[in-house]
Amino acid sequence: MSRRIRMAVRGGSPLRNALAYPSVAVAAGMLLASLVLTLLVPLLPGFDPYSQQLSNGMVAPFHQWAHPLGTDPLGRDMLSRLALAGRGSAMIALLALSLNMAVGVVLGLVAGYFGGAVEAVIMGVADLQVSIPIMMLLVMVVAVAGHSVVTLVLLLGLAYWVGYGRVARLMALSLRERDFVLAARTFGASNFWILSRHLFPQLLPQLAIMGSFDLGVMVIIECGLSYLGLGVQLPAPSWGGLIAEGQDFLQVDPWLCILPGIAIWFLVGAVQILSQHLTNVRQGRRPRKQAA
């Protein structure tokens, strides 16, 4: 293993280098499986998460060709339901993540670059928000405002911007006095130009690391909310919702819970392993070399 890694680290594309690590290769496989599930399966001819067949309920996986992953108590195809649920969960998570990043990056850059009162206000709001327990807030708001996808995305999307905000602010603080920023000012660059062309691109590697990790977190939160009945409502299922349904039948057909669990694990585990790999690459950690 170490020889392969040593060879890979010398040169070659980052992708090939990454795949030389076994953990990354496994994660890539898991991610691929998740993508296939959520993107390709719905395109297959047999895709049908809705039609019920009460006589064919609770079939175990790998028993019927028509239902490769079995059926639920109402006879609906599990594979199709998983795929649909995956779409829902992943989409909400992705949208929420994007909103968090966008809000965080903009507020953070502005705070760090301009300083003074602007920074004080933004950071004050950030500190305030962090002090509120998020889950509690989410539960309360959803209970009041309802379950629509929009509400959910807005809520999740505005709950976690502070992490990105702080990173962006630090970046802006450390870069705003750098010579190349000064140079841009001597050319007559506006603040917007400097922020968008010089400061923002420097954030991208860090955003990739944080974003990939947080994607997993968002999926878990969304599934958690759905499990509690606060998320996306049926009939559009979520993996969390599937688990909630299946838990009544745990003694009889554990697959109803296990399958969505595996699906969550594949997606979340994959992105988090990839995030860790990106972190390692960024920090230049190499495998320890053997004693000479």
Integer distance in angstroms from the first to the last C-alpha of the chain?
A: 17
**Burial degree of 47 (CB within 10 A; 0-12, 13-18, 19+):** middle
Element (H, E) at 79: helix 78-114
Q: Is 198 in the site for other proteins (CB under 8 A)?
A: yes
Q: How far is the CB of 221 from other proteins (least distance, A)?
A: 33
Is the CB of 175 or the CB of 242 nearer to other proteins? 175
Judged by CB under 8 A, the residue of 16, 63, 178, 282 near other proteins is 178
Is the CB of 45 or the CB of 188 nearer to other proteins? 188
Q: How far is the CB of 231 from other proteins (least distance, A)?
A: 39
Q: Is 179 in the site for other proteins (CB under 8 A)?
A: yes
Stretch that binds other proteins, among 5-13, 207-215, 220-228, 273-281 (CB under 8 A): 5-13
Q: Is 116 in the site for other proteins (CB under 8 A)?
A: no
> Token pair 């929420």 is at which residue?
96
Q: Binders of other proteins among 230-259, rule CB under 8 A?
A: none
Q: Is 147 in the site for other proteins (CB under 8 A)?
A: no
Q: Any long-range contacts for 97-100 (C-beta under 8 Å, 24+ apart)?
A: 97/157, 97/211, 97/214, 97/215, 97/218, 98/157, 99/153, 99/154, 99/156, 99/157, 99/158, 99/161, 100/156, 100/157, 100/158, 100/159, 100/160, 100/161, 100/164, 100/214
Show the binding pattern over residues 202-221: x = contacts other proteins (CB under 8 A), - = does not: x-------------------
Give the tokens for residue 146.
């309802």
Q: Is 286 in the site for other proteins (CB under 8 A)?
A: yes
Is the CB of 153 or the CB of 167 nearer to other proteins? 167
Instruction: Residue 9: name the closest of 283, 18, 24 by CA.
Output: 18
Judged by CB under 8 A, the residue of 35, 184, 207, 217 near other proteins is 184
Q: How far is the CB of 10 from other proteins (least distance, A)?
A: 4
- For the stretch 50-88, what's the b/e string if a residue is b when 16 or more beta carbons lie within 10 angstroms of its beta carbon? eeeeeebbbbeeeeeeebebbbbbebbbbbbbbbbbbbb
DSSP state of 194: I
Q: How many CB atoms lie within 10 A of CB 151?
A: 14
Q: Is 189 in the site for other proteins (CB under 8 A)?
A: yes
Backbone phi, psi, residue 77, to 5°: -65, 125
Q: Is 187 in the site for other proteins (CB under 8 A)?
A: yes
Q: Is 285 in the site for other proteins (CB under 8 A)?
A: no
Q: Is 289 in the site for other proteins (CB under 8 A)?
A: yes
Stretch that binds other proteins, among 23-31, 186-194, 235-243, 263-271 (CB under 8 A): 186-194
Enumerate binding residues for other proteins (CB under 8 A).
Answer: 6-7, 9-11, 178-180, 182-189, 193, 197-198, 201-202, 286, 288-289, 292
